[in-house]
Structure 1
Amino acid sequence: MNLKRSFSPVIEENSEVLVLGSMPGEASLRQQQYYGHPQNLFWEILLECEGYEANTLDYADKLALLKNKKVALWDVLEYCERPGSLDSSIVTETEQANDLITLLRQYRNIRKICFNGKKSYQSFHRHVLRDNTDFFQTYKLVTLPSTSPANASIPRTVKYQQWVTEVWNLPRV
């Protein structure tokens, strides 16, 4: 069995945006770091938006940038069976969702939830939203193009613009 388990959330009291992936890929799991694959655009877009060269900050510094941008990270799924890294390989019947409602009740500044790709939103809809639609009425839900290197059909410029608009360049109070 290829059971994969997600990481703990990266979140602060002042977080306003929650970015949800589906499940960390193999490179991320090996490194025990969100978006650890070298071709994943997640960190690259943030660094470029903030004026840094790619790969110039270590993981702790990237997490500090997240904190400054008031962005939190987690995954929709707590665990699932998946051979390899592709979301399309997740065995749907084995999906177990993280307790997102408890997290959101604890961190009340979050008003926007951005999904890193279609699979994270599909899993969220199936396991969380479907039975809790009233709870999520006060949240803005946005599905963004996956930053995964497996999502090569969408040009980098399109991904960059959508991520910058929805996540990184939000006006902050």
Structure 2
Amino acid sequence: MGTHHYEVDLVWTGNTGRGTAGYRDFERAHEVRVVGKPVILGSSDPSFRGDRSRYNPEELLVASLSQCHMLWYLHLASVNGVVVIDYRDHAIGLMTEHADGSGRFTEVTLNPRVTVADPQTEDTAQALHEKAHAMCFIAASVNFPVRHDPVTVSTGRVR
């Protein structure tokens, strides 16, 4: 029940000496900076003349949705007596590009694979994904569907 404030500094580092004199005259390199944290090296998607060795905003959006879901899920697991011993997600975002160069995300699918310590908690563990989705600040803020297709395992059983 409060307002949270986030500050991020973005610094373009891709001026190769000619600024933006021409579309091919500059790099899309930039840095995402938050006081007291490591710098995130960013660029655009390689499809848009970006550096594939750096994170692009589209990847970071998908990562934010995945992180938010996981963090809520782990919280809910802990308060509901589910001991999670491993959590992994392979999140997939779909973006459609329009003829004019604009575009939008049409969906993101989270694919969490959760390992729980006790097979008796598998049903609860599986059900907690719905609540985590409902609680995720990021998922509640985007204008496209965020789906999840979780798998819960324990002691060799898959559900």
TM-score scaled by structure 2?
A: 0.26
The two structures have a TM-score, normalised by structure 1, of 0.25
Give the number of the structure whose residues are more often helix, by fraction. 1
The structure number with the bigger radius of gyration is 2
Structure with greater strand share of residues? 2
Q: Which has the higher contact order (CA 8 A, sep 6+)?
A: 1
